[in-house]
């Protein structure tokens, strides 16, 4: 697929690429973009099947990494710092499997491992319910989701991808494609060992990045730093933006 990803580019300086997670879009890491663009060339990306990027039946880390390399080459971006959250963190790590030169890597609350737990079944149920019930307003869509998704913060996050199709509210992301490829998203094929320096940022209350992942991390990355952000979960950049930014700035 040669279609280029949708992106937003802001600021001047050394290039930084921001990659969102599952069901997100390029605005998810906006809190980082707003601060980093003061002295960096910040490129925020909508991954395939998300935001305003193209929809495809195929969704894998290799394909997503290829999409990003294609865009960065088109934009003539050299030696970027890559920052990815959750699924976007896996995409960021996958980029190290290619001959594309990366300066540094920041991975937010994600490990280079296969996850066995399906964490999104209630989310998928809520998203599909919105499709089936075709609510006319945002408020109605949020109410439909609340029947399946307990956490208000998760509903608010998902609600950012709602838009008016002209007839009812719908999702900007490709729900069908993502649901069909869900096991691919949980999966991971180890990358060849890289010496690209990487900072893993872990939300202290999150279980995505675990102590028993250490061996797999060391098999794939030769230069690793880990920073734990206290009193925060998987959405560490939203919950503790200042601490996350401090850690990123110190690393880069």
Nearest-5° Cα angle at 189, 236 to 234: 10
β-strand 14-19 against 81-85: which pairing, if any? parallel
Percent of the chain with pLDDT over 70: 99
pLDDT of residue 99: 86
> For residues 23 and 89, is the Cβ–Cβ distance under 8 A?
no
CATH topology of domain 7-115+189-251: Rossmann fold (3.40.50)
> For residues 169 and 196, is the Cβ–Cβ distance under 8 A?
no
Region 214-229: what's the mean pLDDT?
Answer: 96
Percent of the chain with pLDDT over 90: 92
pLDDT in tens, 150-190: 988 899 999 999 999 999 999 999 999 999 999 999 999 99
Question: Domain spans of the chain?
Answer: 7-115+189-251, 121-180
Residue with tokens 């009812």: 168
What is the distance, to the nearest Å, from the Cα of residue 84 to the centroid of all Cα atoms in its chain?
A: 5
Region 123-138: what's the mean pLDDT?
Answer: 95
Instruction: Using alpha carbons, select from 198, 72, 175, 172 the residue that is nearest to residue 125.
Output: 175
Instruction: Using alpha carbons, select from 111, 90, 95 the residue that is nearest to residue 219.
Output: 111
pLDDT of residue 1: 46
**CA separation for the pair 58, 180 (Å, rounded):** 9
**187 or 3: whose pLDDT is higher?**
187
pLDDT class of 64 with cuts at 50, 70, 90: very high
Residue with tokens 């690429």: 17
**Which residues are paired to 229 by β-bridges?**
203
> What positions carry a catalytic annotation?
86, 234
């Amino acid at each position: 697929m040669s279609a280029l990803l949708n992106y937003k580019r802001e600021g001047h300086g050394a290039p930084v690429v921001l990659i969102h997670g599952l069901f997100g879009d390029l605005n998810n890491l906006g809190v980082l973009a707003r601060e980093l663009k003061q002295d960096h060339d910040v490129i925020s990306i909508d991954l395939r099947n998300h935001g305003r990027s193209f929809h495809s039946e195929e969704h894998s880390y290799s394909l997503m990494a290829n999409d990003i390399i294609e865009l960065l080459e088109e934009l003539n971006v050299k030696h970027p710092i890559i920052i990815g959250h959750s699924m976007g963190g896996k995409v960021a790590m996958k980029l190290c499997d290619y001959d594309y030169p990366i300066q540094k890597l920041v991975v937010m609350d994600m490990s280079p491992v296969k996850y066995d737990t399906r964490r999104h079944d209630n989310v998928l149920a809520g998203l599909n319910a919105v499709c089936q019930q075709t609510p006319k307003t945002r408020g109605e869509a949020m109410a439909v989701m609340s029947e399946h998704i307990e956490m208000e913060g998760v509903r608010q996050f998902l609600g950012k991808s709602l838009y008016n199709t002209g007839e009812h509210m719908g999702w900007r992301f490709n729900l069908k494609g993502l649901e069909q490829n869900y096991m691919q998203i949980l999966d991971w094929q180890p990358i060849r060992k890289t010496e690209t320096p990487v900072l893993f940022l872990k939300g202290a209350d999150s279980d995505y990045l675990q102590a028993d992942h250490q061996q797999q991390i060391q098999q794939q990355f030769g230069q690793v730093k880990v920073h734990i952000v206290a009193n925060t979960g998987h959405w560490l950049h939203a919950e503790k933006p200042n601490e996350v930014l401090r850690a990123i700035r110190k690393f880069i």
